[in-house]
A and B are shown apart, each in its own frame.
Chain A
Amino acid sequence: MLGTLHKNKKAQIFLGLLFGIAFGFLLQKGGATDYDVITGQLLLTDFTVLKLMLSAVIVGMIGFHLLRNFGYVQSHAAEGSVGSNVIGGLVFGIGFALLGYCPGTVAGAVGTGALDALFGGMVGLLIGAGIFAEIYPLVKTRILRWGKFPAVTVPELLNLNLWIVIILMEVFMIGFLVLLEYYRL
């Protein structure tokens, strides 16, 4: 039944819109569509963004792997490399700080009336995505595949049981949030 839903293109367009609306609502309510909150995170004076992201990962990680255990979802984790993920991630980081939003929260900021997000951020993102489309054939076989990571998932990397890794990660993330609250960050 889920397979039929996944292949139903019209239903998926509608679902995409619904997921977007719920995501935008939650991002705004969580404070993450606000330039000052995101920049405060990057200046290490306001930890709202990390609290929001880690809470999402803490809940999502358990939910996803329980669903996967019973065969309802499949993993989309893909191979990565230094050339793709580290270089791309650092370039993204520079843009993240200059703009003060990321690709999802920039759209959320537009919804709250931020005109710098609309005329600066969204236009810039379209240009940046277009530049990548232009250079893709040049970087695809060389830079993007350079320095492949040795494993796709953390359990494969550490050669540990999946649920042991999940428990360790959950303890680490919850512990980090407890420390943030302890030091009133």
Chain B
Amino acid sequence: MFEFFTDALWSPYVAGAGIGILSCFAFLLSDRPLGCSTAFVKARGMIGKVINPDRISRMEYYREIIPQVDWPFMIIPGIIIGAFISSYLSGRFHMSWVPGIWGAEFGYDPVIRIAVALAGGVLLGLGARWAGGCTSGHGINGSIQLSVASIITACCFFIGGIATALFLFRVIGA
């Protein structure tokens, strides 16, 4: 039984089914779709409140998505802890600056990798808030609810992602 929890990986079908059940429990117990990108708005607002509280309190977006420690905020620290427990139990935890496929194509210079990751993170944060959700909020939980907007958004995530990845690795990297 315990080997199951220390296995390096599970079948994606088993892990995915688990996420589907978890999503149902989030609707049931918290009346919320299990999403991740709202937490970054809240965290950004809380950092802003330390630097310039008047300015943050005047901004319309932070009146709609209140910068406070609550359910949507706690998801992100939770994910960090959960993934740490999972990787630690299976002996897979290890510190690294440059992931494998990236390094093989573009070299192992951490500065270049961090710069591109930072640019990607900015676009990801901007796009997620622009579209009103991310891969879990729209992609999984919106699709579960048969939301037209969520299904279209999820398709656009992958259209933009596949086109950019192919350009990056097959055109620039080639």
Of B12, B99, B119, the contact of A55 (CB 8 Å cutoff): B12
Once the chains bind, are B16 and A25 in contact (CB under 8 Å)?
no
Question: Is B136 close to A, CB under 8 A?
Answer: yes
Of B36, B60, B152, the contact of A86 (CB 8 Å cutoff): B152
Chain A facing B: main interface SS: helix
Once the chains bind, are A20 and B149 in contact (CB under 8 Å)?
no
A73 to B117, CA, bound (A): 38
Chain A residue with the shortest CB-CB distance to B169: A43
Once the chains bind, are A80 and B149 in contact (CB under 8 Å)?
yes
Once the chains bind, are B135 and A103 in contact (CB under 8 Å)?
yes
Of B28, B72, B117, the contact of A99 (CB 8 Å cutoff): B117
Number of interface residues of B (CB under 8 A): 126
Once the chains bind, are A102 and B127 in contact (CB under 8 Å)?
no
Once the chains bind, are A92 and B134 in contact (CB under 8 Å)?
yes
A116 to B165, CA, bound (A): 17
Residues of chain A within 8 A of B101, CB atoms compared: 35-36, 39-40
A111 to B96, CA, bound (A): 12
Residues of chain A within 8 A of B61, CB atoms compared: 132-133, 136-137
Once the chains bind, are B117 and A98 in contact (CB under 8 Å)?
yes
A52 to B166, CA, bound (A): 22
Of A29, A102, A132, A165, the contact of B129 (CB 8 Å cutoff): A132
Residues of chain A within 8 A of B82, CB atoms compared: 20-28, 108, 111
Chain B residue with the shortest CB-CB distance to A126: B44
A97 to B31, CA, bound (A): 31
Of A5, A53, A109, A132, the contact of B135 (CB 8 Å cutoff): A53
Once the chains bind, are A98 and B146 in contact (CB under 8 Å)?
no
Number of interface residues of A (CB under 8 A): 127
Once the chains bind, are A53 and B30 in contact (CB under 8 Å)?
no
A25 to B128, CA, bound (A): 23
A169 to B144, CA, bound (A): 10
Once the chains bind, are A16 and B164 in contact (CB under 8 Å)?
no
Once the chains bind, are A28 and B87 in contact (CB under 8 Å)?
yes
Known: A13-B69, A31-B9. A84 touches B131 (CB 8 A): yes
Which residues of B62-102 have CB atoms within 8 Å of chain A's CB atoms? 62, 69-87, 92-102
Known: A51-B16, A104-B136. A111 touches B125 (CB 8 A): no
Question: Is A88 close to B, CB under 8 A?
Answer: yes
Once the chains bind, are B12 and A103 in contact (CB under 8 Å)?
no
Residues of chain B within 8 A of A126, CB atoms compared: 40, 43-44, 47, 125
Known: A19-B26, A91-B126, A124-B125. A97 touches B160 (CB 8 A): yes
Question: Is B1 close to A, CB under 8 A?
Answer: no
A149 CB to closest chain B CB (Å) equals 5
Question: Is A152 close to B, CB under 8 A?
Answer: yes
15 contacts between A and B (CB under 8 A): A19-B75, A21-B78, A23-B22, A23-B79, A26-B22, A30-B9, A43-B162, A55-B15, A57-B140, A76-B27, A77-B147, A88-B129, A108-B79, A110-B83, A128-B127
A30-B14, A126-B43 are known; give 12 further A-B pairs, CB within 8 A. A19-B25, A22-B78, A22-B82, A25-B83, A26-B18, A30-B12, A80-B147, A85-B138, A85-B149, A96-B160, A97-B160, A97-B165
Chain B interfacial positions (CB closer than 8 Å to A): 7, 9-10, 12-34, 36-37, 39-41, 43-45, 47-48, 59-62, 69-87, 92-102, 110, 113-132, 134-136, 138-166, 168-170
